[in-house]
Chain A
Amino acid sequence: MIDFISGIFILLGAAFALIAGIGLFRLPDVYLRMHAATKAGTLGAGLVLLALALDAQQLQVAARAIAGILFLLFTAPIAAHLLGRAGYLSGSPLWTKTRFDELSEKYDADGRRLNGTPPEELRRGSAHRGDKDGASE
């Protein structure tokens, strides 16, 4: 029975890894590719490690596998965030059919800070995103 369950987990994990590869191949810009690689790839690796933890039936192996899953889940968003920010600032082109670029014009000239809505206005709630066009000034 355990064989059966871990076989299913392996199949699912490999399918997610394959989907991540297809996404990396087909999607049109860096951000969408990163979306495929980060989420589907991490899920695939996590499922395969989970299958390993189930199949081994030893506490130490299972503990290491679960530690690996947790490590992947903690680090993947950080890496993707840093990479997305760096890619955006270095001017990687967005897909031509992108509708909104909410970050456009919001970085200051040297690219270190966001100069969107100042924090005190956000706290007052006057320039909230719910406004029709956001930028009222």
Chain B
Amino acid sequence: MAEFGAQFLEWSIDIAYVAIMMSFALTVFRLLRGPTLADRVVSLDMMALLGIVFIGVFSLSTGVYAYLDVAIALALIGFLATVAFARYIYRGALAERRGSDVPDEGDDS
């Protein structure tokens, strides 16, 4: 049973690497293709998540648990980057609206 468990764990680690690779390829496709900036930011966010998944699997397969700290830091950086990009898109949208919508609709603030 223990033999089989260890063997199963190795297989599932290999399968997980393949799945992460395929997911990464699809994400990169969306990053290159994505019609709007928001699509690309969603894809970048997903890449940070996939990095966390990869580090988790890698840390499990090598037994070097120090990589877990890298995963947590990557989660933090991914979150901050997404928030910063969202603010950037939001600011851009506000500026665009101020430029185009104010002339025909009175500013009532």
Contact = CB atoms under 8 A, between A and B. Distances in A.
B67 to A, nearest CB: 9
Interface residues of B, number: 66
Interface in A3-32: 3-4, 6-8, 10-11, 13-15, 17-18, 20-22, 24-25, 30
A15 B19 CA distance: 7
Contact of B26 (A3, A25, A61): A25
A3 B11 CA distance: 11
Q: Is the interface of B mostly helix, strand, loop or mixed?
A: helix
Given A41-B50, A52-B56, A89 B65 contact: no
Contacts, number: 209
Q: Interface majority SS on A: helix, strand, loop or mixed?
A: helix
Contacts of A24: 26-27, 30, 42-43, 46
